[in-house]
Amino acid sequence: KIWFKNENHISWLNGEPYVTSPDMIIVVDRESGEPFANSHIAEGHSVAVIGLRAVEQFRSPKGLDILGPPHFGFDIEYQPIETVAKRGEG
């Protein structure tokens, strides 16, 4: 599950918050690797979801104020993607 507002901002895995902004969540076609705009994804598409580490400025306290989950109204604490990846859930 992915929540977006112009960009993908929050993903969940097994019902739990997973990768969130400011880290990037990218959805691509599983066959071609071409990125999907959210408006073009339909049920039945075979996709892969890729997460990328955000630049340090976006991870700063000011960056998190602007791009972190609470900015979008979610009571979710930002966890860096490398921390999430170490949990080995995805």
* Cα 16 to Cα 74: distance, rounded to the nearest angstrom: 13
* Cα 29 to Cα 48: distance, rounded to the nearest angstrom: 6
pLDDT in tens, the chain (90 residues): 899 998 999 999 999 999 999 999 999 999 999 998 888 888 888 999 999 999 999 999 999 999 999 999 999 999 999 999 888 766
* Cα 78 to Cα 20: distance, rounded to the nearest angstrom: 7
Residue ranges making up the domain that contains 16: 2-86
* Cα 60 to Cα 34: distance, rounded to the nearest angstrom: 31
Domains: count for the chain:
1
First to last CA, the chain: 13
Give burial (CB, 10 Å; 0-12/13-18/19+) of 82: exposed
